[in-house]
């Protein structure tokens, strides 16, 4: 199972959680040969899975993400009314 550190989020709903921070740290390490900035980025475990899905189009992580989310929901014994997905930030991005 993926390790998570749920964070309570507030808003105009009864109760909400983020499963963890996405990025734990990111340090600039210089530019590549094309002048693009490079970073040494540390992500949470679930953050790394989401990064691989979104930016690397790695669908193999879906089972781990789905299992982690469903186990978290079961652990807090909720009746879930709604799960809000964040829409893609770039038009045409499928994941």
CA angle 14, 15, 16 (to 5 degrees): 135
**Average confidence (pLDDT) per 10 residues, the chain, 95 residues:** 92 88 97 98 97 92 95 86 76 72
pLDDT at 84: 75
Residues 6+ apart with CB under 8 A from 41: 23, 25, 26, 27
pTM: 0.81
């Amino acid at each position: 199972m993926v390790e998570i550190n749920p964070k309570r989020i507030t808003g105009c709903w009864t109760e909400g959680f983020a499963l963890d921070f996405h990025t734990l740290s990111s340090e600039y390490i210089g530019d590549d040969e094309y002048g693009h900035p490079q970073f040494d980025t540390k992500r949470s475990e679930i953050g790394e899975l989401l990064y691989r899905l979104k930016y690397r189009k790695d669908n193999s992580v879906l089972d781990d993400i789905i299992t982690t989310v469903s186990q978290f929901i079961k652990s807090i014994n909720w009746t879930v009314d709604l799960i809000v997905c964040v829409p893609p930030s770039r038009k045409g991005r499928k994941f």
